[in-house]
Amino acid sequence: MAAEAGRSGDFGDIKSLLLSELQEQLRNLGEPSYRAGQIVDWLYKKRVDTLDKMTNLPRPLRSRLSEKFSLGKIDIVRVLGARDTTRKFLFRLADGNLIESVLIPATPALYGGRADRRTICVSTQVGCAYGCKFCASGLEGFSRNLSANEIVDQLIAVERATGEKIDNIVFMGMGEPLANLENVLRAIRIINAEWGLGIGARHITISTSGLAPQIRKLAEEPLQIRLAVSLHGATDEVRNRIMPINRRYNIETLLSACDYYNSHKKQRLTFEYILISDVNDSDEQARLLSRHAHRLSAKVNLIPYNSVSGLPWTRPSEKRQEKFLSILRAEGIPATLRREKGHDIDAACGQLRLQTERAELTKS
């Protein structure tokens, strides 16, 4: 829009740029490219919140940068949970939309974790368009994709608020990461880079409800990140009942995309499988799930369903959960049954819900 050209921040948020892009921008401004290194140092190591605080840059450069780029931040509206337990952070984005991240004190072993590590579960969209029948995030539909800087800022804001270093990141908050693949990959490059947040690719996991074409695209990415596939049903009949995406990409289409992924990656993938009473928790489903896991050499993470108010589903008894697990194990599948984290504060997976400012204000 020509009328708006020249307005501050027209080139977008500076935290959405990769180092190489920043170097190019600086060359275009007639500046030496080492300035880009200084800028990312201010952004990701010293973590200043205004361009003007980058005091080793010449003042005229700082003001030219401020004309071109914005440097946004996300504000914490509320934190739920105690210091030594799972904490849920509610953020307000620059446009007023609300999103959430969850900080989990110990990292689940399946995602490369250790008990003394901290995992953050980040959102990738405001809402979600995929409408899985069991999930809170899709209840109110989809608003918009998050930009790369809004994803990176979730980590920065949580580290700033807690003073704790995050070691592990899972893309399992609100939204479908593979439906926002470009921005998610951009954010991952920044999170992974030495000049950025420096978190190793093996400590980064993307979870998808099964967007088969995007799984193939991800397979072709050189980054050795982990992939978790939300299967939740071992037959089309069960999956169709709870996941509308299965009507677009059925199990065979999904599994063959996973085969393709495997042929490109060293890391084994994980199947996530929520156990929902009388929906997908039969012995037969467990046996078929084992077959799929064998085919993909996949690990299985069983998640007892977390109740969502307004939705009819319940979790199976512990006895049933254990039986389901034992069938997988008897078939030689590496499987775990997830222990509860954050259930009481609605911070468990699938309990992150699109919130409106008004709903928040009435609560507080």
Q: Which residues bind ligand SAH (CB under 6 A)?
A: 134-135, 172, 176, 207-209, 230, 232, 272, 274, 303, 305-306, 308, 349-351
How many CA atoms, within 13 angstroms, populate the side-chain half-sphere of residue 29? 23
96: left (phi over 0), alpha (psi -120 to 50) or beta: left
Residue 137 · residue 99 · CB < 8 Å: no
In the residue annotation, 128 being an active-site residue is answered as no
Residue 286 site contact among ligand SF4, ligand SAH, none (CB < 5 to 8 Å, cut-off depends on kind): none
Q: Around 71, how many Cα atoms within 13 Å sit in the side-chain half-sphere?
A: 18
CB of 138 to ligand SF4, least distance (A): 3
Would you say 44 or 171 has its CB closer to ligand SF4? 171
Least Cβ distance, residue 145 to ligand SAH (angstroms): 13
Closest distance of CB 230 from ligand SAH, Å: 4
Contacting residues toward ligand SF4, per CB under 6 A: 128, 130-132, 135, 137-138, 175-176, 209, 230, 350
Report how far residue 116's alpha carbon sits from residue 267's, in angstroms, rounded to the nearest whole number.
22
**Least distance between ligand SAH and beta carbon 178 (Å):** 8
Q: Is the Cβ of residue 168 or residue 209 nearer to ligand SAH in the bound state? A: 209
**In which element (H, E) is residue 127 found?**
strand 125-127
**Distance between CA 300 and CA 262 in Å, rounded?**
15
The item of ligand SAH, ligand SF4, none sharing an interface with residue 275, based on CB under 5 to 8 Å by kind, is none
CA–CA–CA angle 78, 82, 86 (5° rounding): 85
Q: Which does 131 bind (CB under 5 to 8 A by kind): ligand SF4, ligand SAH, none?
A: ligand SF4
Minimum separation from the CB atom of position 211 to ligand SAH (A):
9
Task: Check if the beta carbon of residue 165 is closer than 8 Å to that of residue 159.
Answer: yes
Nearer to ligand SAH by Cβ, of 48 and 337: the residue is 337
Indicate the residue among 289 and 308 with the shorter CB distance to ligand SF4. 308
Catalytic residue among 4, 100, 176, 258: 100
349 binds, among ligand SAH, ligand SF4, none (CB under 5 to 8 A by kind): ligand SAH
**159/144 Cα distance (integer angstroms):** 25
What phi and psi values does residue 142 have, to the nearest 5 degrees? Answer: -110, 135
Partner in contact with 138, chosen from ligand SAH, ligand SF4, none, beta carbon below 5 to 8 Å by kind: ligand SF4
Q: Which amino acid is at 245?
A: I
101 vs 351, beta carbon nearer ligand SAH: 351
Residue 175: left if φ>0, alpha if ψ -120 to 50, beta else—which one? left
154 binds, among ligand SF4, ligand SAH, none (CB under 5 to 8 A by kind): none
Name the residue nearer to ligand SAH (CB basis): 274 or 327: 274
Question: CB of residue 87 vs ligand SAH: minimum separation in angstroms?
Answer: 18
Choice among 121, 132, 258, 349 that is catalytic: 349
The residue number with the shortest CB distance to ligand SAH is 350
For 163, residues 6+ apart whose C-beta sits below 8 A from its C-beta are none
As a whole number of Å, the end-to-end CA separation of the chain is 40
- The option from ligand SF4, ligand SAH, none interacting with 274 (CB < 5 to 8 A, set by class) reads ligand SAH
Between 37 and 131, name the residue whose CB sits nearer to ligand SF4. 131
Classify strands 204-208 and 226-230 as parallel, antiparallel or unpaired. parallel
Shortest distance in whole angstroms from residue 196 CB to ligand SF4:
26
Q: From CA 183, how far away is CA 93, in angstroms rounded?
A: 16
* Both tokens assigned to 1: 């829009």
For the question of residue 349 being annotated catalytic, the response is yes
* Cβ(151)–Cβ(91) below 8 Å: no
Evaluate whether 199 touches 252 at the Cβ level (below 8 Å): no
List, by residue number, the catalytic residues: 100, 349
